[in-house]
Amino acid sequence: MTSNVCFLNSNNGYGLLAFGGEDILVVQHVISIDEIDKFIEDRPNKYIFLCLSYDLKNRIESLSSKNKDNSSFPDLVLWCPDCVFDVNPESLNILQGNASTEHFMFARDFISSTKSTQIQNFNVQFEPQISKDVYINKVNALKELIQRGDIYEINFCQEYLAKNIEEEDVKNCYTNLNSITKAPFSSYFRFGEFEIFCGSPERFIKNDAGTLTSEPIKGTSKRGETSKEDKQLIHSLKRDPKERAENIMIVDLMRNDLSKIAKKGSVHVDELCEVYTYKTVHQMVSKVSCKLKENSSFTDILKATFPMGSMTGAPKIRAMQLIEDFEDFKRGLYSGSIGYISPNGDFDLNVVIRTLIYNSKLKTLSCAAGSAITIQSDAEKEYEECGIKVQKILDGISG
């Protein structure tokens, strides 16, 4: 079994599969995010796959992360693989490296395994790391700060943790999860002691020939039992004033972030509060784009936009300070990003949500969930929203 593997799966038949090679930089505590540009510059015309921890924020702003760390995920992972395959419905095409027969066999077998319809049962017991009462008290305290004017909106999260998990227990985790979520920014990443099983529906930011596009999600509804109920839920979500207010606040934040690196006058809202239907939920999605200033590096873009506003709140820095005060776990990769940079400098990065993070040394499997808290939030309903998100994941991995 090859040690390092990454599969970026759009769930429409297309994706990127990378494996092989030990040209990997794993930084537990980043001193400067300029290390990212150096890694890219030293590997011209190469595909690079990456994991960006939420805690990179501490090197972008004057912030810190001191909460309990149950997964011990590094701040930064940059990897230049030996082999990169373009996956499409008709074929596998080599994009990087010299693929041998064994490489093609591994790629075919790996892709086939992720499409398995045989859900493998295993028993994993997740424990919420805070009680419902504590969660509700914290949400109400955050609402008081919103009332006082400290912030307008904050993404407040909680962690669910399973302990004493063996590698055998998570063998089918990605396949099980993906069969349930079928998310457009799904990913699997394995390196060192870590395995990441991600069913994300959200794009953080994409660069396509100098056009940056971000697609923040704010506003979630469960799926209906029938198409009629689905239509009613979509209708309600589209017109829900709280959900729209959440989404519009983050769109404004994203417009502001992009303006720092955009050509003058190029920031544009392409879609506002559109509802997209995924296999497990309905989500309200907006799209914001801009033309990138010339000579902007990858790190310049991160400094302007990371972490994504949909996982922080507004104003962004104050929201991140309060996240540290009110949450009881270190987010690590959760609320960060997984993605790739192509040889020409284009890139596509997701938002790490609907995700399980496994550490084989600690034998922990971590799953976090959150929701946006505004002045209109009902603490009971926010708790229920977290439950909807997490339960679908737990049902999926448990078969």
Tokens of 54: 């939420």
* pLDDT value, residue 390: 79
Q: Is the pLDDT of residue 209 over 70?
A: yes
pTM: 0.95
For the residues 148-172, what does the mean pLDDT come to?
A: 93
For the residues 123-136, what does the mean pLDDT come to?
A: 89
Name the residue with tokens 């939030």.
377
Average pLDDT, the chain: 93
* pLDDT value, residue 1: 46
Q: What is the pLDDT of residues 234-293, one digit of tens each?
A: 999 999 998 898 899 999 999 999 999 999 999 999 999 999 998 878 999 999 999 999
Greatest CA span in the chain, whole angstroms? 64
Task: Say which range, 31-45, 292-306, 384-398, has the weakest mean pLDDT.
Answer: 384-398
Distance CA 387, CA 235 (A): 22
Q: Is the pLDDT of residue 380 over 50?
A: yes
Distance CA 63, CA 283 (A): 30
For the residues 383-389, what does the mean pLDDT come to?
A: 81
* pLDDT value, residue 118: 61
Handedness of CA 284, 241, 316, 383 (dihedral sign): negative
Which residues are marked as active site? 202, 218
* pLDDT value, residue 199: 93
Q: What is the pLDDT of residues 23-71, one digit of tens each?
A: 999 999 999 999 999 999 999 999 999 999 999 999 999 999 999 999 9
- Binning pLDDT at 50, 70 and 90, where does residue 119 land? low
| Top-confidence range, 95-99, 138-142, 225-229 | 138-142
Q: What is the pLDDT of residues 69-88, one digit of tens each?
A: 999 999 999 999 999 999 99
Phi first, then psi, for residue 153 (nearest 5°) are -160, 145
Tally of CB atoms within 10 A around 311: 27
Task: Determine whether 375 is exposed, middle or buried from the number of CB atoms within 10 Å of its CB (0-12, 13-18, 19+).
Answer: middle
Residue 304's SS3 state is helix
Higher-pLDDT residue of 123, 127: 127
- For domain 5-398, give the CATH number: 3.60.120.10
